[in-house]
């Protein structure tokens, strides 16, 4: 399993292309027909049915120590090379899938476990608003004592109370609640007063007027767009607004809607617990490990073991009929966010943030497996470019994670499910590893020189994976191709990040660089 994650900055570095480079990175992939024909080239019989490492001339470990003085880049490491346990890699057409009613019911029933769920109310009764006003007034009194009348947070709290008092005047005495059983309901998408299409959704909560601690379950499927164009305009406040057709259904659940620890993008990874989840051992993280901006070393808050968390997540998938996903990793997460530039913070704000109670959970990450090969992914989307504006139809990458704490399943996040449409070839003709290695060693320094010519880059490669990666098909935002790809992972300046974004993705068929935000 992947031992380290890359720094989130690489998400931005790899995906922009605005500044000059010492040598232009070749981002191909638009000519999918040519790439597909190359993938379908006949593989000699002697090359099939054997060991994939031998077929591709691939080492089990890839050691490197490369310096590019012009780019001020130093790449080093002893990376494990992970190949799938198959004879060959396929190339497939896929479609953006939706959550059908049967699957939605399965997750709804498994996660709500008989708890009464309701539609999200469209109004709030007077008694609830009155309670909110009293709570806000208590907070205001405390702020005035601690910060004085002129503090900006005091002014914000006064404005909040004024808004609540205004809402109280028009609020009804009672608001009827409507039961929700997880049935998908259609709705109309509008933008600028125009019908943009229809979609289906579920939005249910167990305690509509509680303190954000009730269960929450939501599904939002892709739309059938009557108008798939992208639009931008400047609103009355001078802000640019846009309408962009979007592909990528979502299924979300939180056992306590006010505590959302458990998502990779919303927490800090304390430790990779994947190995411990297989052996039954206790999770370990570095001694005296401190989250950036905090003062005390982290301690384990959970009695749950990684193996127990993994078992609960896998049992949920089995109960809901999910058979084409597998556990890629298990990670211990904290809901504490790293505090950058703590020395510049207001001391009172810093003390308040550090005093917040910490919540931890094990996040179990699942990947799709197609024809026996993992489909790699990350948190983000690809977007069809429209001229130079960057606005265009979007396609969310598939992510499935289940967060488990001492209380059981705490959260589920499944975005961008895929459906296999057609297998183009089950044994794509692949470049030898030596060619891929050459592309990587040539292009990674160029990427960094493009965005950091005034600084040095120290990059440590930790793992190389041969997998499948989803690219656009002819700029469609609902149809794509799963293509064999080499993903290079690592850390920048000794600091792994919290995103599962590869440092570089090389197309295993034609050697082109795949830009994940452009989708090819």
Give the model confidence (pLDDT) of 226-246 as tens digits: 777 777 777 777 887 777 888
Give the pLDDT band (50/70/90) at residue 494: low
- Residue-wise pLDDT for 279-324, tens only, equals 999 998 878 889 989 999 999 999 999 999 999 999 999 999 999 9
Residue 81 pLDDT grade (very low, low, confident, very high; cuts 50, 70, 90): very high
Angle at 227 between CA 222 and CA 232, to 5 degrees: 95
Give the largest CA-CA distance in the chain: 81
pLDDT: which is higher, 306 or 461: 306
Predicted local confidence at residue 226, as pLDDT: 75
Q: Over 70: is that where the pLDDT of 46 sits?
A: no
- For residue 88, what is the DSSP state? S
Residue of higher predicted confidence among 1 and 275: 275
Is residue 225 very low, low, confident or very high in pLDDT (cuts 50, 70, 90)?
Answer: confident
Mean pLDDT, rounded, for 258-280: 78
Q: Which residue has the higher pLDDT, 336 or 105?
A: 105
Model confidence pLDDT, tens digit, residues 345-403: 988 889 988 998 999 999 999 999 999 999 998 878 888 766 555 667 889 999 999 99
pLDDT at 201: 96
pLDDT of residue 287: 84
- pLDDT band for 12, please (50, 70, 90 cuts): very low
Burial status of residue 311 (CB atoms within 10 A of its CB: 0-12, 13-18, 19 or more): middle
Report helix, strand or coil for 186.
Answer: strand
Q: Which residue has the higher pLDDT, 15 or 277?
A: 277
Determine the pLDDT at residue 483.
97
- pLDDT above 50 (res 11): no
Least confident among 29-38, 310-319, 329-338, 435-444? 29-38
Please write the tens of the pLDDT for every residue from 135-150. 999 999 998 888 888 8
What's the sign of the alpha-carbon dihedral 440, 443, 445, 448?
Answer: negative
Domain range list for the chain? 9-94+421-507, 98-121+177-416, 126-170
Q: What integer pLDDT is reported at residue 386 of this predicted model?
A: 61
Q: What is the pLDDT of residue 143?
A: 87
pLDDT of 454 > 70? The answer is no
86 pLDDT exceeds 80? yes
DSSP string spanning 416-443?
A: --EEEEEEEESS-----HHHHHHHHHHH
Q: What is the pLDDT of residues 152-184, one digit of tens each?
A: 889 999 999 999 999 999 999 999 999 999 999
φ, ψ of residue 217 to 5 degrees: the values are -135, 130
Q: What is the pLDDT of residue 382?
A: 85
Percent above pLDDT 90 for the chain: 54
Is residue 502 a contact partner of residue 2, using CB atoms and an 8 Å limit?
no
Helix axes 126-147, 152-170, angle to 10 degrees: 160
246, 478 contact by CB (below 8 A): no
Q: Given this model, what pLDDT does residue 43 score?
A: 64
Query: What's the burial of 479, exposed, middle or buried (CB within 10 Å: 0-12/13-18/19+)?
Result: middle
Whole-number CA gyration radius for the chain:
25
For residues 69 and 222, which has the higher predicted lDDT (pLDDT)?
A: 222
Per-residue confidence (pLDDT) for residue 346, from 0 to 100: 84
Overall average pLDDT of the 78-85 stretch:
94
- Mean pLDDT of the chain, nearest integer: 85
Q: What are phi and psi of 73, to 5 degrees?
A: -120, 135
pLDDT of residue 242: 76
Which of the pair, 70 or 415, is modelled with greater confidence?
A: 415
CA distance 256 to 262: 11
Angle at 30 between CA 26 and CA 34, to 5 degrees: 100
C-alpha distances in Å from residue 56, one per residue of 7, 59, 216, 353, 520: 30, 9, 48, 52, 23
**Residue 18 reports pLDDT greater than 80:** no
Grade residue 260 by pLDDT with cuts at 50, 70 and 90.
Answer: low
72: pLDDT strictly greater than 70:
yes
Residue 15: the pLDDT is 38
Looking at residue 268, its pLDDT comes to: 86
- Quote the pLDDT of residue 58: 95
196: number of Cβ within 10 Å: 20
């Amino acid at each position: 399993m992947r031992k380290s994650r890359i720094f989130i900055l690489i998400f931005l570095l790899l995906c922009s292309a605005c500044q000059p480079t010492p040598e232009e990175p070749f981002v191909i992939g638009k000519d999918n027909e040519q790439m597909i024909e190359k993938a379908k080239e006949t593989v000699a019989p002697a090359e099939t049915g054997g060991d994939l490492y031998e077929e591709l001339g691939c080492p089990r470990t890839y050691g490197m120590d490369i310096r590019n003085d012009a780019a001020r880049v130093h790449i080093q490491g002893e990376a494990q090379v992970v190949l799938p346990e198959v004879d060959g890699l396929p190339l497939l057409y896929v479609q953006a899938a939706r959550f059908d009613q049967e699957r939605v019911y399965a997750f709804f029933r498994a996660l709500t476990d008989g708890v009464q769920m309701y539609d999200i109310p469209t109004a709030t009764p007077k008694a609830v608003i009155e309670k909110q006003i009293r709570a806000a007034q208590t907070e205001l009194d405390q702020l005035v004592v601690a910060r004085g009348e002129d503090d900006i947070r005091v002014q914000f709290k006064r404005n909040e109370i004024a808004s609540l008092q205004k809402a109280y005047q028009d609020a009804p005495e009672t608001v009827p609640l409507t039961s929700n059983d997880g049935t998908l309901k259609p709705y109309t998408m509008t933008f600028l007063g125009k019908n943009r299409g229809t979609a289906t959704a579920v939005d249910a909560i167990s305690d509509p007027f509680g303190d954000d601690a009730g269960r929450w379950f939501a599904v939002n499927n892709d739309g059938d767009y009557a108008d798939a164009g992208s639009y931008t305009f400047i609103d009355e406040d001078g802000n640019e607004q846009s309408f962009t057709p979007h592909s990528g259904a979502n299924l979300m659940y939180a056992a306590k809607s006010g505590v959302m620890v458990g998502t990779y993008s919303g927490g800090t990874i304390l430790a990779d617990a994947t190995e411990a989840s297989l052996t039954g051992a206790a999770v370990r993280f570095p001694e005296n490990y401190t989250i950036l901006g905090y003062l005390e070393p982290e301690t384990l808050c959970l009695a749950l073991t990684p193996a127990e968390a993994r078992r609960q997540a896998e049992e949920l998938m089995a109960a809901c009929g999910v058979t084409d996903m597998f556990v890629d990793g298990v990670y211990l997460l904290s809901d504490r966010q790293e505090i950058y530039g703590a020395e510049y913070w207001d001391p009172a704000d810093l003390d308040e943030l550090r005093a917040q109670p910490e919540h931890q959970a094990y996040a179990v990450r699942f990947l799709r497996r197609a024809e026996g090969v993992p489909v790699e992914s990350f948190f983000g989307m690809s977007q069809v470019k429209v001229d130079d504006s960057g606005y265009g139809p979007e396609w969310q990458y598939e992510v499935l994670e289940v967060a488990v704490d001492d209380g059981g399943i705490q959260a589920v996040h499944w975005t961008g499910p895929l459906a296999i449409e057609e297998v183009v070839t089950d044994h794509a003709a692949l470049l030898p590893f030596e060619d891929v290695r050459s592309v990587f060693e040539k292009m990674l320094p160029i990427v960094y020189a493009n965005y950091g010519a005034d600084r040095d880059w120290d990059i440590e490669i930790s793992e190389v994976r041969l997998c499948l990666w989803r690219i656009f098909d002819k700029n469609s935002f609902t149809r794509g191709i799963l293509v064999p790809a080499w993903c290079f992972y690592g850390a920048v300046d000794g600091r792994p990040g919290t995103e599962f974004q590869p440092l570089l993705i090389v197309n295993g068929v034609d050697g082109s660089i795949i830009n994940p935000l452009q989708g090819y």
